[in-house]
Chains A and B, each alone.
Chain A
Amino acid sequence: MSTLAQRLRFGPRLRFGLQLFVTLAACVFLVAPVLMSILAGVTRNYFIGIRSGLTLQWLAQVWELYRQTIYLSLQVALTCVAVTLVIGVPAAYVLAKSRSRLTRLVEELLVLPIAVPGLATGLALILTYGGLREFRASWLFILVGHVLFTLPFMVRSVLAVMTTIDLNTLEEGAASLGASFRQRLFGVIVPNVRSGILAGALMVVTLSIGEFNITWMLHTPLTQTIPVGLADTYASMRLEIGSAYTIVFFVMIIPLLIAMQMISGRRRPARIVETADAGAARE
């Protein structure tokens, strides 16, 4: 018995080794599919395997066949950021300023498109606006879905920063010095919530580029975004093409994710340097 107990009491080194092993195993488990997918995208024939040789022909084919989806995705994502900025920042401002029951309700309602399955949102949009032919067939229809879905992320991101900086007092401070609303907005409010706006914008671009559920419902054969195109290739093309398409997607989305990580890392809490108060008092 005692020998078993001794054996079970791991030394710190052994424990570290175990933790490292578990972590690495988890990483491999999660990263392997990504690598496999990338590999499949550049393999001449996936069923023969790497022996068949590496090639960029699949990527070229994707570019040939699905270039439009990339353009459209970028177009939708950038317009979506512009729209969410124009609607979301003022909305966050109003929510931060007014703590009434109505604004609380609006804040909750904003989140609904995230909670409700995208397919349902898409269906609701089609039921309501599907009759407007021109609109239904244009990319703007997809844009509406994306704005609905991404707006809460923009609002939340900006609102979070606004509540930590005590927006009301800052604005009152600026007003007491004679600043008009415009001067307060561009001189004090926006510069101080810049990190929230930036983080929100990146989040919106990323989500918009990756959005599938709503877009799937709203797209037409002429308005396909990358994720919809991906589904299309998986369903009807060679596996290699689908995988090559995935590579294109990664190339677009990973820099955005890294940028987002860097911004959230830079948003440091206000730090108070310990310049002795006693020293200040002596002066």
Chain B
Amino acid sequence: MPAPPGNSAVSIRLDGCGKTFADGTRALEPLTLDVRAGETIVFLGPSGCGKTTTLRLIAGLEAPDAGGHVWFGGEDVTALPIEKRNVGMVFQSYALFPNMSVAENIAYGLKVRRVATPMRAARVSEMLSLMHLNEFASRRIDQLSGGQRQRVALARALIVKPRVLLLDEPLTALDAKLRESLRIEIDRLLRELEITTVYVTHDQAEAMSLGDRIVVMERGRVAQIGTPQEIYYHPANRFVADFIGTMNRLHGTVRGGHLEVAGGRVPCDAPDGEAAELGFRPEDARVVEAEASGDLAGTVAAVFFLGDRTRVIVEGAADGLIVVESSGRRPFTKGDEVRIALRRETLLRLK
């Protein structure tokens, strides 16, 4: 394996960076955030949440509103345009140059830096083998598959030994299976290179598997920052709970230390008479025999057999549908009366 391209990782600091577009749209509320050197941080959220704007601010493709500053290590790069920031960027559409071959695309960053030809050739072949692209070196871009293009884009971004690697939904244009395998490849690459990486996606599975930390964003604001585990197990609010994974919701009124819902009673530490909402993940509930003492009772509305487990959708237990998973081989049919037992310590109070 060739030597990793970037070994002097740099930290990133966003200091009060907001972004208002010319037409007055507020794309990003002022944001202060530190990314540690070598860390992979993932911006996650639905479209229009400000995640791409944040990436473009870090890249230097957008300037923050007055007062905002972007720091790379000890250097204030706010005023530097992207071409002077020494970043590597992978675009959603890859932005490969159609007028150049694979090798020429990869060499471009060195060419504009006026690196001597022999040195350039050596670095290009290094990148070609790192990204398993050797046999495609002289191909035109339109002769490549989506996955190959993606790897060319990565190679092109990495060859300049960027201080920071920026990835803007790099896997979105690919089909599910390929996405999975490239995600593993990118993960391996990022661990190996130990390069500071900012990754933008709307795919929570990508975020969970790649991010050292995840920044969940909603309408121009940070909803939560944390490790994948923190975000999954302790979502800061309803939006995060819903956006990451599946969250079942129980909505009702508290009476005698219990939340009363359509299908039963669940312990809830809140004053009597208060309307409250509790949430739990499908894997934190078990379907038990109807006679046994579960927390909630309901009727099977739909069953999805997934092979290793069965996903059971239950109605009548709460206002909405409840999703639980059963790993046993018990068959379920629509209309079955079931009881659901909850692992009470996993119940979340949703705000």
Please report A residues at the B interface, Cβ cutoff 8 Å.
165-166, 169-170, 172-180, 183, 187-188, 191-192, 194, 270-281, 283
On whether the beta carbons of A176 and B89 are closer than 8 Å, the reply is: yes
Q: How many residues of B contact A (CB 8 A)?
A: 41
Tell me the nearest residue of chain B to A194, going by C-beta. B99
Given contacts A169-B93, A178-B86, A180-B83, contact A277 B146 (CB under 8 A): yes
Please report B residues at the A interface, Cβ cutoff 8 Å.
59, 61, 81-84, 86-89, 91, 93-99, 108-109, 111-113, 132, 142-148, 156-157, 160, 166, 174-175, 177-178, 181-182
Given contacts A188-B97, A280-B148, A281-B177, contact A175 B83 (CB under 8 A): yes
- The smallest beta-carbon distance between B58 and chain A, in angstroms, is 11
- Pick the contact of B98: A165, A273, A277, A283 (CB < 8 A): A165
A194 to B181, CA, bound (A): 37
A273 to B61, CA, bound (A): 32
- The smallest beta-carbon distance between A187 and chain B, in angstroms, is 7
Residues from chain A with a CB closer than 8 A to the CB of B174 are 277
On whether the beta carbons of B147 and A280 are closer than 8 Å, the reply is: yes
- Pick the contact of A275: B93, B97, B145 (CB < 8 A): B145
A194 to B87, CA, bound (A): 29
A169 to B52, CA, bound (A): 14
On whether the beta carbons of A178 and B99 are closer than 8 Å, the reply is: no
On whether the beta carbons of B95 and A172 are closer than 8 Å, the reply is: yes
- The smallest beta-carbon distance between B61 and chain A, in angstroms, is 6
On whether the beta carbons of A277 and B144 are closer than 8 Å, the reply is: no
On whether the beta carbons of A271 and B83 are closer than 8 Å, the reply is: no
On whether the beta carbons of B108 and A174 are closer than 8 Å, the reply is: yes
Residues from chain A with a CB closer than 8 A to the CB of B175 are 277
Interface majority SS on A: helix, strand, loop or mixed?
helix
Q: Kindly list the 6 A-B residue pairs having the minimum CB-CB distance in the complex, ordered from nearest.
A: A173-B95, A177-B109, A280-B147, A176-B89, A191-B99, A281-B181
A178 to B111, CA, bound (A): 10
- The smallest beta-carbon distance between B132 and chain A, in angstroms, is 5
Residues from chain B with a CB closer than 8 A to the CB of A188 are 97, 99
- Pick the contact of A273: B94, B132, B143 (CB < 8 A): B143
A195 to B94, CA, bound (A): 22
On whether the beta carbons of A271 and B142 are closer than 8 Å, the reply is: yes
On whether the beta carbons of B89 and A187 are closer than 8 Å, the reply is: no
Interface centre among A179, A194, A270, by most chain B C-beta atoms within 10 angstroms, is: A179
Residues from chain B with a CB closer than 8 A to the CB of A183 are 112
A28 to B97, CA, bound (A): 47
- 9 A-B pairs with CB atoms under 8 Å apart are A172-B95, A173-B97, A175-B82, A178-B86, A178-B112, A191-B99, A192-B97, A277-B175, A281-B182
